[in-house]
Structure 1
Amino acid sequence: MPVIRHLTGAAYGTHFADQLALVAVPLVAALALNATPASIGLLVACQSMAHLLGSIPFGILADQRQLRHLAITSATVSLIGFACAALSIGFGSVLGFGASVTLAGFGVVLFGLTALSIVPRAASAEELGRANASIEVPRAACSFIVPLTVGLVISDVPGWAIFLVACLGSTLALRMSWSLPSFEVKPTQQEAVVSKILLGAKFVLRHRLLLPISLCAIFWNFAFAALLVVLVPAIQDLFGFEPGSFGISLSAFGLGAICGTWLSGRLANLVAPAFILLFGPGTSAMASGGLLLLGPGSSVFVQYALFFLLGFGPSMWLIAQNSVRQLMTPTEMLGRVNAVIQTAIYGIRPLGAIAGGYWVTLFGVEAGLQLVVGAFVLSFLVSAFSDLRRVSSYGALAAEGQK
């Protein structure tokens, strides 16, 4: 599958640059731009804003435009954004830095939706699981390697240099996207943008598999965002670990995602998708519950193991649900459906973070952890009591989707 190889190469460049920015933005803002805590919060929000504002319109574009051109555009936009970020740091402009990372984020969002629409055009139903695993490996690998690397060099390397390195990632993505072939563009009826969005949303809400997938993702992302807020005071006040264990835990999460992604590609046609669709949220509920058992005297390696599990199961789930989405959604609607689901997912993350902080303030750190566990459990329950538990094979889904 040469198309998948080129797409995977583009994914490596895109996710390397995106993860670099994700880790570096708050650090560079504090160290190089002397930004206030409030400003740092706004800069971090700028990265999420691209997902919230860009997912729907980019999803519509993915249904109507040449996907090769969109992939090339995504890399170009990110490259310009990261280059401008480096210049903004050099000029000491916080405002320019925020605008630049937002622009780069739009390129990342466009690439993600474009890639999800390319995969089912380049792989058969039997190859879909392995193909989706292939393009998720870069995200998982970068989520492990990049945080460790930035943490080691951030004190010795100027901030602008980090974003120039991000430009190299976008340049790789541009080179690999240029190698992609052109894809058939099916003519669609001219409709108002709002009508197109509502059509995609209605399709998700009425679908026996896509609705529970969406609800599972919403509860999971709410829980994970809240956990990132709750974990810092929990480490200090409940567990008695060093603050640095927070960063190592996130790296353990990334390592788990690498392992889960690698295994998922090899199990795609050997294990019923239903098992993986329940295994992902199930392991999250178990791992988060394990955090409630930690306390003074506990080994920090238990925390690392729990975060490894949080990365391992959900990474397998992500690949499986991507395959289900691609098989059950009409090709001409795939971009919109992906955009609707992605908007819901990224829209809930700020709410989860706010809720986690608010809950800890009102009821204490332990109650905050209980909120996190409750949301992870809900993500499992909406899957376990849905038709997702009956998905026996991707081939059967492909046959159903063609009816």
Structure 2
Amino acid sequence: MTAPATTVTAWSSGRFRGFWYAQTISQFGDRITEIALPLLAVTMLAATPGEVGVLTALIWLPYLFGVFVGAWVDRRSDKRRLMIVADLLRAAVLVSLPAAYLFDLVTLPQLFAVAVLTGVGAVLFGMAYPSFFVSLVPSEAYVDANSKLSLSRAASFVAGPAVGGALVQVLTAPIALVADALSFVASAVLLRRIPEPAPPAEPPTATGSTARRIREGLTLLLRDRVLRAALGCTTTVNFCTFIANTLLILFASRELGLSAGAIGIAFGAGAFGGLAGAALAPRVTRMIGLGRTAIVGVILFPAPLVLMALADGPVTAKIALLAAAEFVSSVGVMLMDINLNALITKVTPDHARGRIAGAYSTVNYGIRPLGALIGGWLGTAIGLRPTLAVAGLAGVCAAFWLLASPVRRIASLESMGR
């Protein structure tokens, strides 16, 4: 008699649970900062749309150097230690804002410096993440693991904005940032408890100078049709959504006249879509295939920006419309992220994960500062509502990258034979 096949899930690895706990705590802290940092600039420092655009751009600016960081990280065997250092760096930087606030010394240049340094920590963490992730999860559980991590991220988008908005309203924005700093400390402690895995053996072709390793990472990324299509798609959609995201808090606060608490409620309620998307992603993927699910997500992610641009009427109607648009967008981003992340993890060679992640991030995340700056410029030049509508319509076009590639025909990771 043949024994029934055992389903392999992310929970099969006890080490993954510790990683999941660390990421979950950190995600909840991040949601508070995403509300508090721009509100601090807008309400306390009277930042203009252009200055808010610069602030957002600076957060993502360090990703332009991801290709160099990734090549360096590939040489290091202590990926977990690098992630811990990145967490502690971001905690220390964030604490500087409430400390300055207590002495009435908060300035826009300091806010810009905090944005850059937290971005540096995020780049370091992100380049070490792929190799550490694959050491915790078997390949057949990539979609399941990404679904669980995305479910936590979605849950943070539900509670985080509401909690963040309330904390900002009660404690002021700088003091609310302490919560995110503590979440990074907790993440570092949990990562410290996970044993450092043995690094995979590198083939001889991976040795050499940093410049050579960077070239190898870029070559591997651009020659693979799946990776190239995923890069083009995510870069396009990130560029367009960051044109809009830069202005969302400003739009909700000044154009719609909503309070910090109301903004938090609107985005928190809408984020239930992320929970739904993360929970349904594995099931939808099994029904219509990995590639098609990713394409649907790419379309649903930016399209609701057009709906946001139409928000008007009484306060309850504005909150409801923002929440509905955020709900659909959150479903879309989860369907896109979970499947594309699993796909990228599957096709990336083990020996080059750091440098490919670096090259990918340099392009994909490096475009975000440009999107943020253009968003600030367009918001000033043509107005906030038209900018949101243009960004949403242009973002939908990102799906063409996947439609014109092998991705649309991929049903599952197992069917790829890699």
Q: Deviations over 1:47-82 (max 9, x none)?
A: 2234334x3333224422222222222222222222
Structure-2 separation of matches of 1:85 and 1:59? 29
Structure 1 vs Structure 2: percent identity of aligned residues? Answer: 22
Alignment of 1:339 with 2:358, yes or no, is: yes
Aligned residues: 395
CA deviation after TM superposition for structure 1 residue 28, in Å:
3.1
In structure 2, the residue corresponding to 1:340 is in which secondary structure? Answer: helix
SS of equivalent to 1:126: helix
Q: Distance in 2 between matches of 1:88 and 1:241?
A: 31
Tell me the alpha carbon deviations over residues 163-184 of structure 1, each in whole angstroms, 9 at most, x when there is no partner.
3322220121011101212222
1: CA distance between counterparts of 2:265 and 2:73?
37
Cα pair distance change 1:296/1:39, threshold 3 Å: closer
* Structure 1: unaligned runs, 5 residues or longer: none
CA 88–260 in structure 1, closer or farther in 2 if over 3 Å, else same: same
> For residue 75 of structure 1, what is the aligned residue in structure 2?
87
**Could you give the per-residue CA deviations for residues 299-345 of structure 1, whole angstroms, max 9, x where no partner exists?**
54344323211111221210111111111010111122222222222
Q: Does 1 or 2 have the higher relative contact order (CA < 8 Å, sep 6+)?
A: 2
Counterpart of 2:196, as a letter, is S
What is the deviation of 1:266?
Answer: 5.3
Q: How many Å separate the matches in 1 of 2:176 and 2:312?
A: 37
Q: Are 2:182 and 1:168 aligned? A: yes
Match of 1:180?
A: 194
The residue that corresponds to 1:21 in the other structure is 33
CA-to-partner distance for each residue in 1:88-116, whole Å, 9 max, x for gaps? 33341534554344333322332233333
- Note if contact 1:25-1:44 (Cα within 8 Å) is conserved in structure 2: no
Please give the alpha-carbon distance, in whole angstroms, between the structure 1 residues aligned to 2:173 and 2:384. Answer: 34
After TM superposition, the score normalised by the length of structure 1 is: 0.84
Q: 2:287 aligned with 1:287, yes or no?
A: no
> What residue number does 2:9 align with?
none
Paired amino acid for 2:367? I
After TM superposition, give the deviation of residue 295 of structure 1 in Å: 7.2
Alpha carbon RMSD of aligned pairs, Å? 3.3
Contact kept in structure 1, 2:27 and 2:153, CA below 8 Å? yes
Q: 1:63: which partner in 2? A: 74
Match of 2:242 among 225, 230, 234: 225
Find the residue that maps to 2:175 and give its secondary structure: helix
Deviation at 1:13, TM superposition (A): 2.9
Q: Which stretch shows the higher mean deviation, 329-338 or 368-377?
A: 368-377
Query: Are 2:331 and 1:312 aligned?
Result: yes
Quick one: distance in 1 between partners of 2:321 and 2:96? 42
The aligned residue for residue 4 of structure 2 is: none
Whether 2:273 is the aligned partner of 1:256: answer yes
Distance 1:293 1:216, change over 3 A: same
The answer as to 2:63 corresponding to 1:51 is: yes
Q: Which of residues 109, 113, 118 is equivalent to 2:132?
A: 118
C-alpha distance in 2 between matches for 1:259 and 1:122: 25
Alignment of 1:91-110 (within 5 A): 91=103, 92-94=105-107, 95-110=109-124
Q: Distance in 1 between matches of 2:153 and 2:343?
A: 20
- The CA distance in 1 between the partners of 2:52 and 2:298, in whole Å, is 32
- What letter is aligned with 1:182? E
- Aligned to 1:209, the other structure's residue is in SS state helix
Contact 2:284 2:293 in 1 (8 A): no
User: Residue type matched to 2:362 in 1?
Assistant: T
Tell me if structure 2 keeps the 8 A contact 1:80–1:104. Answer: no
Q: Cα–Cα, structure 1 residues 42 and 380, in superposed 2: closer, same or farther, change >3 Å? A: closer
Amino acid at match of 2:150: E
Q: Aligned ranges for residues 346-385 of structure 1 at < 5 Å?
A: 346-359=365-378, 368-385=387-404
Which ranges of structure 2 fall in alignment gaps of 5 or more residues? Answer: 1-12
Task: Give secondary structure in 2 for the equivalent of 1:181.
Answer: coil
What is the one-letter code of the residue matched to 2:357? N
Shift of the 164–283 alpha-carbon distance from structure 1 to 2, 3 Å rule, reads: closer
Contact 2:67 2:214 in 1 (8 A): yes
Q: Give me the whole-angstrom Cα distance separating, in 2, the residues matched to 1:242 and 1:156.
A: 19
Residues 182-213 of structure 1, C-alpha deviation per residue, up to 9 Å, x if partnerless? 22223464433233223222222221111111
Judge conservation of contact 2:82–2:128 (CA < 8 Å) in 1.
Answer: yes
When normalised by structure 2's length, the TM-score is: 0.81
Q: Does the CA-based 8 Å contact 2:53-2:246 persist in structure 1?
A: no
The one-letter amino acid of 1:121's match is S
1:7 aligns with 2:19: yes
Please, which of 194, 199, 205 is the counterpart of residue 222 of structure 2? 205
